[in-house]
Amino acid sequence: KTMPTYKLSYFPGRGLGEVSRQMLHLSGTPFEDNRITMDDWPKHKESTPFGQMPVLTVDGKQIPQSFAIARYLANQFGFAGKTPLESAWVDALADQYKDYTTEIRPFLMVAYGFGEGDKDKLRKEVAEPAINKLFTILEKKAKENGSNGHFVGSSLTWVDLLVSDHMGILETHVPNAFTAFPTVQDIRKKTTSLPKLKEWIDKRPVTPF
Burial of 89-112, coded b for 16+ CB within 10 Å and e otherwise, reads bbbebbeebeebeeebebbbebbe
pLDDT on residue 92: 98
Separation of alpha carbons 182 and 193, rounded Å: 16
Q: What is the mean pLDDT of the chain?
A: 97
Average pLDDT over residues 83-90: 98
Average pLDDT over residues 75-88: 98
Would you say 73 and 24 are in contact if contact means Cβ atoms under 8 Å apart? yes
Rounded-to-10 torsion of CA 90, 92, 98, 102: -160
pLDDT on residue 48: 98
pTM above 0.85, yes or no: yes
Q: 151, 23, 131, 163: which is closest to 87 by C-alpha? A: 151
Q: 132, 138, 139, 115: which is closest to 174 by C-alpha? A: 132
Q: 29, 32, 28, 30: which is closest to 10 by C-alpha? A: 32
Separation of alpha carbons 42 and 82, rounded Å: 40
- In which band, very low, low, confident or very high, does the pLDDT at 43 lie, cut at 50, 70 and 90? very high
Average pLDDT over residues 21-37: 97
pLDDT on residue 2: 84
Q: Is the pLDDT of residue 46 over 90?
A: yes
Average pLDDT over residues 9-13: 96
pLDDT on residue 157: 98
